[in-house]
């Protein structure tokens, strides 16, 4: 059983692609006509040009909507594709789950003739996000333990450019910082189940922080302390696109 066979059961209910982030991913792919989506999950951010998806969890594969690309069960570290068989390889919010990032990125480079696009986060920025900094240090520890350093990815993709991916205030994907201006959302267990740093932390270690957040929302202390957030439409919480090739 893979991790996502356990934590991914309700993934499709809270995790769908945000159209503004999807547009940024499509722009990064820049007209590539054949794409492999690696760590594809339920198919979020998968462009129409995707000819095959690769995903290890059958629970995630089972939630792929009808009409999405054919999906092969496999891992990034050993892609079931021949060398140079696609224009581009895409990996969205997945590298932090790989057991061997260097091998996985070498595989993306092996199968993609022209471009590799990776979406992940920069922990140096993400660790300042109010949820993990002020309330949930246990989740911060999970996220720090999983984070793949951006300089390491850039080193593995020589010449790559790194683009910030700001999170819209009404982001329709439910990843870690998606609810930065909607703090009440983090009190919903279904929302937390779709965020791996919260799903993988021990529930006992989140109790005090969630109680403190509840109290601060009721008293108005959260809104007082984060008044500046209500003036922003987008936030740089550390998400980054790395575009190589
Ligand atoms: C947070 S989900 C992201 C799914 C999808 N890309 C998205 O943006 O919604 C992370 C995915 O990475 C997959 N994954 C975990 N280990 C992997 C590996 N070694 N190779 C490829 N994918 C992996 C998980 O099964 C899961 O579906």
In this prediction, residue 134 carries a pLDDT of 98
What token pair was written down for 35?
């794409």
Q: How far apart, in Å, are the Cα atoms of 150 and each of 91, 93, 238, 241?
A: 14, 13, 10, 10
Ligand 1, residues 38, 54, 56: which to mutate, most atoms within 8 A of Cβ? 56
From 13, 24, 41, 200, the mutation candidate for ligand 1 (largest count of ligand atoms within 8 A of CB) is 41
Q: What spacing in Å lies between the alpha carbon of 56 and ligand 1's midpoint?
A: 7
CATH number of the domain located at residue range(s) 3-244 in this protein: 3.40.50.150
- CA distances for 152 relative to 48, 115, 135, 237, angstroms: 30, 18, 29, 19
25-34 burial: b if 16+ Cβ within 10 Å, else e: bbebbeebee
- Tokens representing residue 175 in the block: 């990843």
- For residue 50, which of 62, 58, 39 has the smallest C-alpha distance? 39
Q: What is the mean pLDDT of residues 87-107?
A: 98
In this prediction, residues 104-117 reach a mean pLDDT of 98
| Contact of 196 with 229, CB cutoff 8 Å | no
- Model-level pTM? 0.96
Mean pLDDT of 162-178: 98
Q: Which residues line ligand 1 (CB under 6 A)?
A: 2, 4, 15, 38-41, 44-45, 55-57, 60, 75-77, 92-94, 97-99, 196
Q: Please name the residue whose Cα sits nearest to atom 4 of ligand 1.
A: 41
**Stretch 201-219: mean pLDDT, rounded?**
98
SS3 115: strand
Please say if the pLDDT value at position 210 is more than 90: yes
Task: Looking at the CA of residue 45, tell me the nearest atom of ligand 1.
Answer: 8
**Residue 11 vs residues 121, 160, 189, 192, 195: alpha-carbon distances, Å:** 19, 30, 12, 11, 9
The predicted structure's pLDDT at residue 31: 87
Q: How far is CA 163 from the centre of its chain?
A: 15
Q: What beta strand segments (E) does 42-185 contain? A: 50-55, 71-73, 86-92, 112-121, 161-164, 167-168
* Cβ atoms 191, 14 nearer than 8 A: yes
Residue bearing the CA closest to ligand 1, atom 27: 41
pLDDT band at residue 245 using 50, 70 and 90 as cut-offs: confident
What gap in Å lies between CA 210 and CA 206, rounded to an integer? 6
Residue ranges covered by each domain of the chain: 3-244
Separation of CA 132 and ligand 1 centre (Å): 22
Region 79-97 average pLDDT: 98
* Residue 97 Cα to ligand 1 middle (Å): 7
What residues does 88 pair with on adjacent strands? 35, 115
- How far is the centre of ligand 1, averaged over its atoms, from the C-alpha of 52 (Å)? 15
Which of the 8 DSSP states describes residue 173?
B
Section 31-49 average pLDDT? 96
Task: Calculate mean pLDDT across residues 172-201.
Answer: 97
Nearest-atom index, ligand 1, CA of 37: 6
């Amino acid at each position: 059983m893979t991790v996502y066979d356990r934590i991914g059961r309700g993934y499709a209910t809270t995790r769908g692609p945000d159209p503004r982030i999807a547009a940024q991913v499509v722009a990064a792919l820049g007209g590539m006509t054949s794409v492999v989506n690696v760590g594809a999950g339920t198919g979020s951010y998968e462009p129409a040009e995707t000819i095959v998806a690769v995903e290890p969890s059958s629970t995630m594969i089972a939630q792929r909507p009808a009409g999405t690309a054919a999906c092969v069960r496999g891992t990034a570290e050993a892609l079931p594709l021949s060398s140079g068989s696609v224009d581009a390889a895409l990996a969205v919010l997945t590298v932090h789950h790989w057991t061997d990032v260097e091998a996985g990125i070498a595989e993306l480079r092996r199968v993609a003739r022209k471009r590799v696009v990776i979406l992940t986060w920069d922990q140096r920025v993400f660790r300042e996000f109010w949820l993990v900094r002020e309330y949930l240090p246990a989740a911060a520890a999970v996220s720090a333990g999983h984070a793949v350093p951006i300089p390491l990815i850039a080193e593995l993709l020589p010449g790559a450019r790194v683009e910030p991916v700001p999170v819209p205030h009404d982001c329709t994907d439910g990843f870690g910082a998606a609810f930065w201006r909607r703090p009440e959302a983090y009190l919903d267990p279904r929302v937390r189940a779709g965020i791996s740093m919260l799903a993988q932390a021990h529930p006992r270690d989140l109790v005090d922080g969630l109680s403190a957040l509840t109290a601060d929302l009721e008293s108005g202390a959260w809104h007082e302390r984060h008044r500046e957030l209500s003036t922003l439409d987008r936030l740089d919480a550390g998400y980054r696109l790395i575009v190589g090739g």
